[in-house]
């Protein structure tokens, strides 16, 4: 009996994917770091020095982080593109979409000194044209604005859905179900904006979610790109009743006869 596992022999993965790179990300990233969790942060390079801010009726100021604050803050987390200027893309031409995507990717890569492989769609509009542009710009995945409402990892990396965008109540129900589930390669991914935690007074709700996640030994924190690349490598594996062949360049993990086992790149394990 062979069952697919995540790195380190873990059964489940947790991730947050948060958009816009706002001031409240400082508090949010510190909270993730406190519990050794990992996030994906989707940034608009063209708005990072923007002076624009708005004040919510409860007093929360919403403003973009500056470049010099963003670079050290997101160390250890994934930075992904969210377009250069966060436009409504439904009335943009192909050339305009390509410019928004490619320029953001290039400038974020130069600023952060790393390859930017992920993309998150601004607002809710997504189309075949945008998807083709995402592929042309060399992104590995595109996270769209719909929820999967399931723990099953997405099959289509270019229509990637988070499990849910943060609820307007507690996470108790979903976290209980996630802790109980025995689904193979289960994933809980929460999307959102950190300013909503101010506006909707949700900091304690998120902290109690993080406490519960980090207290579970079988849940591994990963960034979205780490999850996507791991699942792509897993898809290439050949698994039969008595043999596992890892065709990828990274280690894969399986539960084989009740034991978690690492299968090295290009390794074949005969049972």
What residues line the site for Zn ion (CB under 5 A)?
19-20, 122
Residue 101 or residue 213: which is nearer to Zn ion going by CB? 101
Residue 20 or residue 198: which is nearer to Zn ion going by CB? 20
Give the dihedral sign, CA 133/137/138/141: negative
Residue 102 or residue 145: which is nearer to Zn ion going by CB? 145
Locate 34 and state its tokens.
């406190």
Residue identified by tokens 């949010």 is: 28
Residue identified by tokens 């998120």 is: 206
Please report how close the Cβ of residue 20 comes to Zn ion at its closest, in angstroms. 5
Closest CA to 34 of 192, 201, 214: 214
H or E stretch including 133? helix 128-136
H or E stretch including 95? helix 94-112
Please report how close the Cβ of residue 85 comes to Zn ion at its closest, in angstroms. 11
Residue 104 or residue 229: which is nearer to Zn ion going by CB? 104
Please report how close the Cβ of residue 116 comes to Zn ion at its closest, in angstroms. 16
Residue 64 CA: distances (Å) to CA of 45, 190, 198, 203? 10, 21, 15, 19
Residue 1 or residue 54: which is nearer to Zn ion going by CB? 54
Residue identified by tokens 């900091």 is: 203
Closest CA to 226 of 70, 92, 26, 38: 38
Residue 19 or residue 229: which is nearer to Zn ion going by CB? 19
Q: Provide the b/e sequence for 18-35 (b: ≥16 CB within 10 Å).
A: bbbbbbbbeebbebbeeb
Please report how close the Cβ of residue 193 comes to Zn ion at its closest, in angstroms. 7
Quick check: 244 and 3 in contact, CB under 8 A?
no
Residue identified by tokens 């492989």 is: 117
Please report how close the Cβ of residue 24 comes to Zn ion at its closest, in angstroms. 14
| Residue 258, φ and ψ in degrees, nearest 5 | 85, 0
Please report how close the Cβ of residue 19 comes to Zn ion at its closest, in angstroms. 4
Please report how close the Cβ of residue 224 comes to Zn ion at its closest, in angstroms. 15
Residue 122 or residue 191: which is nearer to Zn ion going by CB? 122
């Amino acid at each position: 009996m062979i069952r697919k596992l995540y790195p380190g022999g873990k059964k489940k993965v947790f991730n947050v994917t948060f958009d816009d790179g706002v001031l409240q990300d400082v508090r949010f990233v510190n909270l993730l770091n406190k519990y050794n969790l990992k996030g994906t942060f989707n940034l608009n390079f063209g708005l990072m020095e923007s002076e624009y801010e708005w004040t919510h009726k409860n007093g929360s100021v919403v403003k973009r982080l500056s470049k010099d604050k963003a670079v050290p803050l997101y160390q250890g987390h994934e930075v992904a593109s969210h377009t250069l200027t966060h436009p409504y893309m439904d009335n943009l031409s192909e050339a305009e979409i390509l410019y928004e995507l490619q320029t953001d990717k290039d400038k974020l890569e130069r600023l952060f000194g790393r390859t930017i492989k992920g993309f998150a769609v601004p607002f809710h509009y997504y189309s075949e044209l945008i998807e083709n542009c995402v592929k042309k710009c060399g992104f590995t995945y595109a996270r769209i604005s719909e929820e999967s409402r399931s723990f099953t990892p997405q099959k289509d990396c270019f229509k990637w859905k988070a499990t849910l965008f943060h609820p307007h109540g507690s996470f108790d129900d979903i976290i209980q179900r996630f802790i109980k589930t025995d689904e193979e390669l289960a994933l809980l991914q929460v999307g959102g904006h950190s300013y909503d935690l101010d506006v909707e007074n949700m900091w304690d709700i998120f902290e109690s979610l993080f406490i519960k996640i980090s207290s579970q030994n079988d849940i591994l924190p990963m960034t979205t790109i780490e999850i996507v690349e791991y699942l792509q490598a897993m898809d290439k594996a050949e698994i039969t009743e008595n043999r596992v062949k890892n065709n990828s360049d990274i280690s894969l993990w399986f539960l084989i006869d009740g034991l978690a086992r690492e299968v090295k790149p290009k390794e074949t394990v005969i049972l």
